[in-house]
Structure formats: structure tokens, C-alpha cells
Amino acid sequence: MRHKTLPILLFCFSLLAYSRIQAQLSIQLSPIEKKASWTAPDRQFKQWKAVQLEAKNLLSYFQKHEIANLEITLPKGPEWSLVAEKTRLTGPTYTLQVASEKGTEIKQGKPSCITLKAYPQQWQEDAEARITLDKNFFYAYFRKGKEYYYIEPLSYYLPSAPPNAYISYKASDVIPVEGKTCGLQEVHKKKKEIISGDLYKTGNCYEVELAIASDGLMFQKYGSVTAVENHNIAVMNNVAGNWDDEFADEIQFIIVEQYVSTSPAADPWTSSTDANA
């Protein structure tokens, strides 16, 4: 009886796995005509595109499901056929602390944004992606071969840009500018910070527990606590995807806490360079 039952169970599981990726989703991107006043990104990128992005179907689907086929085509650019699945970067006891001049509010529970990792539907293709999305928020990179394509809110570079406007650029088009950062540079910066920290080994897997603190200037730049929280998680999702060639063992990132100050006056850090201040 045991020998007859096992093949049936395996068959059922294989059907379940197959049915999990029947959903076919797409990310709709359309070009936006650049305004004459939109010159700030020109200092950071040799070439960049302004695009309008519609991903409501993607967000609503992954609020209820774990995996789906995903199609995306950049305007006048490459296209991807991927399998996207949820990846969780926050721990079960994830905490958000919001500091203001009135005190600190502590919130517990998973964040509203969704993080995805994606790999090609055809395994012989050399491609991957990392996506973080929420209502009116999309932050991602897509890789094809050795080239990385980044998508971020255009408001990061042009504060007056509409909420459904995004910037798309290639990693090879980034121009280093002192005092300015983009998604690619934030990934490299965060990786350096993590390498200098501690790694906790569990068998052949390393778990890196992270606590992220954001000052009042971050709150002013991104406009809300949720926007700061989403941005930090999105950067770490990109870091997780870019980590494959750093170590032989698997590395998993777990964000256990975020601290967001809503004004410079509420910052627990001093601006002084004196260690005794």
C-alpha cells in the first residue's frame, strides 16, 4: 500500500506546483514626454526615460497569492518573461518606531509593501529581477545578461513629478555625482555597510538581521513614514538580489526593526563631529 500511495502524492504535489504559476501578469509601461524643467536627472544619468507605470493588477494579485508569470517590456528597450514570487525581508516580530517631537510611537506588524524576486521562465535565459511595490510605489531592477535596468519613482529626482511617473535608466548610464545617489549606488553603499557587520551562520546559510534608522532629512525627502519605510525595504530587496556573487553560502536578510524620525528636531543623533558631544 505504501508503494502505491507515494506516486499519487508526488503527482498531486506536481499538479499543485504547476497550478501555482498559471496566473499571467504584466507590467504596463508607457513613455512620458519630458518637461523642459526636468533637468535634474541629466546630471546623474547619461540617458534616462520618464515612464508611466500601471501595476495595480500586480499589487492586488500578490496581496493574495505567492507566485505568477510576469511580462514586462521597457519602452524602446528589452523585454522579460519571468516567474515572480514573494520574498519576505521582514521578520515575524518586525517593528516600526516613529519618532516625533512628542515622543516615539511603536507599531508592530508586517509593512504594507510587497517584495518580489523573479527569475526567467526559460532557464537557459540569463535574467533576473527584484521588485518592491505598494500603492503608488514601484521600485525595481531588471537584469538581462550583464546589464541592469532600474526603475524608481521620478519624484526621487523631481519632487514635483506626479505619483504615477517613474524614471528608468541603465546601470551603465549612471554618472557619479557627489552628494547624489541613485538606486544602483544605494545598493553598493548598503552592501559595504553589511560586509563590515556581523554574519550569523546557521548551517550553510547566513542570516543577517538588520535594524534601519532614518533621520528627519529622509522623512523630508520622501514625504511620509510609509514612503521612507518602503524605500528602505526596496533598497534591501535590491541588495538581496545583487548578493549572489559575494559569498559561496546563501545569505538571507531579515529586517527586524525600522526607526523613522519625522523631523530633524526628533533625531537622536547629534550633528557634531565631537565624540563627546
40 is a domain residue: yes
Beta pairing, strands 114-120 & 103-108 = unpaired
Can you give the pLDDT at residue 257? 97
Of 71, 67, 82, give the one whose Cα is nearest residue 126: 82
What is the C-alpha to C-alpha distance for residues 45 and 49, in angstroms, rounded to an integer? 10
Residue 17: its pLDDT value, please?
Answer: 46
In a domain, 141, yes or no: yes
pLDDT of residue 49: 96
**Helical axes 183-195 vs 225-241, angle rounded to 10°:** 70
Distance CA 179, CA 265 (A): 22
Quick check: is 257 in a domain?
Answer: yes
Whether 271 is covered by a domain: the verdict is no
CB atoms inside a 10 Å sphere around CB 82 = 25
Domain that holds residue 216: 23-173+190-266
Average pLDDT across each block of 10 residues of the chain; the chain has 277 residues. List them in order. Answer: 37 42 83 94 95 89 95 90 94 95 93 96 88 96 93 95 94 80 57 51 68 93 96 94 64 91 80 47
Among 65, 39, 274, 242, residue whose Cα is nearest residue 140: 242
How far is Cα 10 from Cα 88, in angstroms, rounded to an integer? 27
pLDDT of 95 reads 98
Q: Residue 90: helix, strand or coil by DSSP? A: strand
What per-residue confidence (pLDDT) applies to 182? Answer: 59
181 lies in a domain? no
- pLDDT value for 276: 47
Within a domain: residue 28?
A: yes
Domain contains 11: no
Q: How many domains, the chain?
A: 1
- Is 117 part of a structural domain of the chain? yes
What does the pLDDT read at residue 54?
A: 82
Q: Categorise residue 136: left if φ over 0, alpha if ψ from -120 to 50, beta otherwise.
A: left
